[in-house]
Amino acid sequence: MKFSWRVLVLWTLPALVIGFFFWQGAFASGPTDMTKNTASTRMTYGRFLEYLDADRVTSVDLYEGGRTAIVEAVDPELDNRVQRVRVDLPMSAPELISKLKTKGISFDAHPMRNDGAIWGLLGNLIFPIILITGLFFLFRRSSNLPGGPGQAMNFGKSKARFQMEAKTGVKFDDVAGIEEAKEELQEVVTFLKQPEKFTAVGARIPKGVLLVGPPGTGKTLLAKAIAGEAGVPFFSISGSEFVEMFVGVGASRVRDLFKKAKENAPCIIFIDEIDAVGRQRGAGIGGGNDEREQTLNQLLTEMDGFEGNTGIIIIAATNRPDVLDAALLRPGRFDRQVTVDPPDIKGRLEILQVHARNKKLDKSVSLEAIARRTPGFTGADLANLLNEAAILTARRRKEGMTLAEVDDAVDRVVAGMEGTPLVDSKSKRLIAYHEIGHALIGTLLKDHDPVQKVTLIPRGQAQGLTWFTPNEEQGLISRSQLKARITGALGGRAAEDVIFGHAEVTTGAGGDLQQLSGMARQMVTRFGMSELGPLSLESQQGEVFLGRDWTTRSEYSEAIARRIDSQVREIVEQCYDLAKRLIRENRSVTDRLVDLLIEKETIDGEEFRQILAEYTEVPEKQQYVPQL
């Protein structure tokens, strides 16, 4: 349990208050001499007078201003022994002193000690000191908490993390796979280290660099590398940290940030996820966000306003450049826009080599084969892939990472966790025909990507999976390749229809149908690959705050819409008829492959093509596929 000083103080203060009042009451009258002012018994004042008249009193000591007396008297009931007794005297007994003098009895009056006043004064001073100290300690602790009372004067202060000498632990050598972006940013480092090389020929330092790219491609990593290489003061902040619930706080933080940056120029300011504060002004239903727009206006002014900011380079990162305000993107604010795309096969290989430095790999593991197996993976995906493979290696208690762990890690990252194997039943056989249908069509079509493997091991929501891996990077996709992919996606439904009949088709093709319907519609409306001609009939630009798909505008009439639907249906029907025909023509090899898949649960692509080649001709493009 974590110790809390605040709870301790809150519990201690009431206890101190109660204890103080008890203490004050105990010492209100001041302490007295307890060695003399004691007696074993008490005696009434009337009996004391009787003893006095009978000459049985030998001495009297008066205490507390004459209100109490300790009397030594001879008690006849105790064989005339002397006994000390306590007597409470009345307030008005002036004759008592005269009577004691007349009797010749020795008496002494003890004055009251003034200790009570001293202790009372100390108590009155100590308690306020303890109380004030406790409250001061309590407020001091709470002032360090976010939103505490001590933070009231810090709302307008910048929350940027500042490093006088940026020691991020990342250099350009640690960033791989994005060589073009590195080259652009290396110039920024040179500007900061040797500005005279550029100013001598009239070049000026760029004021801002905007890193644009999908999530996980290494934008923040590049900023860390710049900070580590440049060796100049470095400010880092997220776009969301500017905007608060209080109006004017964001603009104040922008001013404070640039004030600190000017004091430490030359320096770098890195703003991550700048789209949180740099969105288009005046967009959205009911107007924009005034506080965010004020913050953006202040940022625009500080970057390129009336006053200059020489020596300050702003680096920002976002994966939503389409929502940024146009004034933010113009030269003079962000002079350069560096696109950080997912790496190609060469870039993926370099990234894998970086992340494999601290991993124990078996000699049989080929990083090039892994790079070919992972098209579309970003740097973050590849780092996660090798980490998952390392976790599997440790779980299986192996000394080094083998092909089996890498293969399972790829499946886990792409499709999800491995589920419970299917039992041998009608459902398992139907799923086997469905997956073999995908693999068979994909292998027989020349323009389709080669099969990597077919498996009946469930992963995620899928009961079975067919993996396809392209031989090369595909920047542009042809019409024949799109139709081949649609036909391959229909292979599972076609196999169910041909083998089990139209009445027995299942919902297993739901995801396939959704995917191929989108491809077919894009062929007609965006890529001009139909009888409607080379026309783009749907715009992908929508309002910033209303979502992309919801605001997709239809720039055609109802008659064109009917023709679009007709063309989409025609493309899908042609591909479906082709898929069913190929299944019927290769029924015998389909049955053999299904029996083998049920027996082994996984068939790799090379074995699949060898069996299929015994029955029919396999296109040359499908012959070579790199294996893990």
Distance CA 87, CA 65 (A): 13
Distance CA 234, CA 222 (A): 14
71, 48 contact by CB (below 8 A): yes
Element (H, E) at 314: strand 312-318
Residue 511 annotated as lining a ligand binding site: no
Does the active-site annotation cover 531? no
CB contact set of 60 (below 8 Å; sequence gap of 6+):
69, 70, 71, 72, 100, 105, 106, 107, 108
Give the DSSP letter of residue 45: H
- The CA-based angle 299-304-306, given to 5 degrees, is 105
Amino acid letter, residue 159: K
Paired tokens of 295: 């913050």
Residue 321 annotated as lining a ligand binding site: no
State the Cα torsion 125-129-131-136 to the nearest 10°.
160
Paired tokens of 107: 């008496």
Its sign, for the CA torsion 92, 97, 102, 105, is positive
Paired tokens of 193: 């280290």
Residue 213 annotated as lining a ligand binding site: yes
Residue 46 annotated as lining a ligand binding site: no
Paired tokens of 407: 């293969």
Cα 347 from chain centroid (whole Å): 28
Distance CA 593, CA 607 (A): 10
Distance CA 278, CA 515 (A): 34
Strand pairing partners for 312? Answer: 267
Paired tokens of 230: 């440049």
Residue 217 annotated as lining a ligand binding site: yes
Residue 438 annotated as lining a ligand binding site: yes
193, 231 contact by CB (below 8 A): yes
Q: Decide the pairing of beta strands 267-272 and 312-318.
A: parallel
Distance CA 10, CA 355 (A): 51
Residue 512 annotated as lining a ligand binding site: yes
Distance CA 370, CA 373 (A): 5
Cα 488 from chain centroid (whole Å): 39
Distance CA 300, CA 2 (A): 45
φ, ψ of residue 466 in degrees (nearest 5): -125, 120
Residue 218 annotated as lining a ligand binding site: yes
359, 367 contact by CB (below 8 A): no
Element (H, E) at 237: strand 234-238
Residue 216 annotated as lining a ligand binding site: yes
Residue 219 annotated as lining a ligand binding site: yes
Q: Which of 435, 496, 585, 599 is catalytic?
A: 435
Name residue, tokens 């309590």: 138
Element (H, E) at 86: strand 81-88
Helices (H) and strands (E) in the chain, counts: 21, 14
- Residues with catalytic roles: 435
Question: Can you say which residues are annotated as belonging to the binding site?
Answer: 213-220, 434, 438, 512
Question: Can you say which residues are annotated as belonging to the binding site for Zn(2+)?
Answer: 434, 438, 512
Question: Can you say which residues are annotated as belonging to the binding site for ATP?
Answer: 213-220
